[in-house]
């Protein structure tokens, strides 16, 4: 396709052309922001490796009842309303890998941003949360611990 044909198409279909440009800009913006957000999204298999290799601290922001129904072994339960990057548990881990998770990944993404702003060096987020962990057929621990 030549440039003249492309311009002719754009002239005949202005709404399609604007839609294409808008979607392209939105995708580019999303990808650039992902690069500069300061924390890394992990898939369940990557989290397993990080826990085993680097003894990562996993913070679970699920509601207490959900945490007791099933959580990642070794994770610490912190209620979203009580989440504070300056908390004793967290501030001692500023140089260690910290992974934040929740049921579906939404609340934990915001918490990861807060940790990065507070000066944590190695912040990770479990993309898709505990639901993604379950879909990967990885085990959950029941109860408070």
Closest CA to 111 of 58, 49, 69, 55: 58
Structure-token match 């109860």, residue found: 143
pLDDT tens for 81-140 read: 888 888 777 777 788 899 999 998 888 888 998 998 888 889 999 999 999 999 999 999
Question: At which residue do the structure tokens 């290799």 appear?
Answer: 53
Please state, in angstroms and rounded to a whole number, the distance separating the CA atoms of residues 142 and 145: 7
Q: Read off the pLDDT of residues 49-84 as tens digits, 9 standing for 90 and up.
A: 999 999 899 999 999 999 999 999 999 999 888 888
Tokens of 96: 């260690």
């Amino acid at each position: 396709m030549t440039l003249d044909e492309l311009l002719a198409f754009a002239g005949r279909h202005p709404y399609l052309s604007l839609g294409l440009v808008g979607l392209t800009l939105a995708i580019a913006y999303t990808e650039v922001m992902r690069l500069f957000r300061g924390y890394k999204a992990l898939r369940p298999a990557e989290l397993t490796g990080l826990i085993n290799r680097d003894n990562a601290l996993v913070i679970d922001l699920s509601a207490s009842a959900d945490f007791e129904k099933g959580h990642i072994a070794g994770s610490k339960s912190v209620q979203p309303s009580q989440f504070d990057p300056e908390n004793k548990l967290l501030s001692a881990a500023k140089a260690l890998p910290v992974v934040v998770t929740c049921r579906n990944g939404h609340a934990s993404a915001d918490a990861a941003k807060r940790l990065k702003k507070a000066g944590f060096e190695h912040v990770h987020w479990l993309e898709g949360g505990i639901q993604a962990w379950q879909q990967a057929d990885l085990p959950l621990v029941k109860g408070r611990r």
